[in-house]
Structure 1
Amino acid sequence: MKKQYQISRSEDLHNTIIVPSSLKLPQQMKITFGTHSAETVEVKSAGNEGRVILSSELAERLLLPDLKVPLHLFIEGEEMVIGPLIGIFTSGFTSFPMRPIGDRTMFFAKLLSVKSNIGAIPFVFGEQHINWEQGTINGYFYFKEGWITIEVPYPNAIYDRLPNRKTERQKQYRAVKARLQEEYFIPWYNPGFFNKLDISERLQQTSVEKYLPETHPFTAFSIVERMLADYGHVYMKPINGSLGLGIHQIIYDRQDEAYYCRYRDKNKENKLQKFSSLEALSKYIFKNRNLNSMLVQQGIHLIRKEQRPIDFRVHTNKNEHGEWQISALAAKVAGRGSVTTHVKSGGVIMTAEEIFTNKVEQKQAVDALNKAALEISKALEGTVEGLIGEIGFDLGLDRQGNVWLFEANSKPGRSIFKHPELREFDLLTRKLSLSYAVFLTEKSITSPGEVIK
Structure 2
Amino acid sequence: MGSLGILQWNTERTDYYTDQVAEHCASSGIQVVRLSPLSCNFSTLTATGWRYDLSAGQWTKDVFPVPDFIYDRCFYPPGSKEKKRVTEASEQLKKLSVFLGSGLPNKWAVYRWLRKDSRIASFLPPTQLLEEDVLNAYVNAFGTVVIKPVFGSGGEGFHVIRRRDNTISLYNKSKELLLAEDSGATLYKFLKSSLPASRYIIQPFLKLQLNGRPFDLRVVMQKESPEHWYEAGKGYRVGRKNSYVSNLRAGGRISSSLNHHSGEYKQAEQIAEKISPLIPFVLEKYHQPLFELGIDYGLDSQGKLWIIEVNSKPGYETIMKTTDNTRKKLIFSRPARLIRQLENSE
Greater RCO structure (CA 8 Å; 6+ sep): 2
1:346 alignment counterpart:
251
Matched residue of 1:275: which SS? strand
Is the contact between residue 395 and residue 404 of structure 1 (CA under 8 Å) also seen in structure 2?
yes
Query: CA–CA distance in 1 between the matches of 2:226 and 2:102?
Result: 20
One-letter amino acid of the counterpart of residue 177, structure 1: K
Tell me if the contact between 2:45 and 2:66 (Cα under 8 Å) persists in the aligned partners.
no
Query: How far off its partner does 1:284 sit?
Result: 5.0
Closer/same/farther in 2, CA of residues 357 and 292 from structure 1, 3 Å limit? closer
Question: Are positions 1:110 and 2:20 aligned together?
Answer: yes
How far apart are the structure 2 equivalents of 1:168 and 1:364? 46
Paired-residue identity, %: 22
Between 432-441 and 137-146, report the one with greater CA deviation.
Answer: 137-146
- Counterpart of 1:210 (choices 122, 125, 145) is 122
Task: Provide closer, same or farther for how the CA distance between residues 344 and 258 of structure 1 changes in structure 2, counting only shifts above 3 A.
Answer: same
Q: In the superposition, relative to structure 1, how do residues 104 and 271 fare at CA in structure 2: closer, same or farther (>3 Å)?
A: farther
Is the 1:92–1:102 Cα contact (8 Å) retained in structure 2? no
Cα distance between partner residues in 2 of 1:151 and 1:281 = 52
The C-alpha deviation readout for 1:74-121, integer Å capped at 9, x for no partner, is xxxxxxxxx3x341242556xxxxxxx21236553232122377x352
Q: Does 1:170 align with 2:82?
A: no
**Contact 1:88–1:161 (CA under 8 A) maintained in structure 2:** no
Aligned to 2:289: 387
Q: 1:216 to 1:325 in 2, by over 3 A?
A: same
Give the equivalent residue in structure 2 for 1:241: 152
2:7 maps to 90
The CA RMSD measured in Å over matched residues stands at 3.3
Q: What residue number does 2:109 align with?
A: 198
Task: For residue 259 of structure 1, report the CA deviation from its aligned partner.
Answer: 2.4
Shift of the alpha carbon at 1:344? 2.9
- C-alpha separation in 1, matches of 2:48 and 2:153: 32
- The residue type equivalent to 1:309 in the other structure is P
Change beyond 3 A, Cα 1:238–1:152: closer
Hey, what does 1:375 align to over in structure 2?
278
SS at match of 1:413: coil
Instruction: Give 2:80's aligned residue.
Output: none
Query: CA–CA distance in 1 between the matches of 2:126 and 2:306?
Result: 10
Distance in 1 (CA, whole Å) between partners of 2:297 and 2:151 is 18
CA drift at 1:379: 0.6
Structure 2 distance, partners of 1:248, 1:134, is: 44
Residues 115-148 of structure 1: per-residue CA shift (max 9 Å, x gap): 377x352412436567977999997124345224
1:217 and 1:252, CA in 2 relative to 1: closer, same or farther beyond 3 A? same
Q: How far off is 1:398 after superposition? A: 2.7
CA offsets, 1:374-399, max 9 Å, x none?
Answer: 11121111111x31110111222234
The residue correspondences of 1:14-33 to structure 2 (distance < 5 A) are none
Q: Secondary structure at the match of 2:14?
A: helix
The 1:387/1:326 distance shift into structure 2, 3 A limit, reads same
Q: Go from structure 1 to structure 2 and tell me whether the alpha carbon gap of 1:362 and 1:203 turns closer, same or farther (over 3 Å shift).
A: closer
Amino acid at match of 1:114: H
Highest CA radius of gyration, 1 or 2?
Answer: 1
Alpha-carbon shift at residue 150 of structure 1 (Å): 8.0
> Are residue 295 (structure 1) and residue 201 (structure 2) matched?
yes
Matched letter for residue 217 of structure 1 = L
Counterpart AA for 2:296: D
Distance 1:391 1:168 in 2: 26
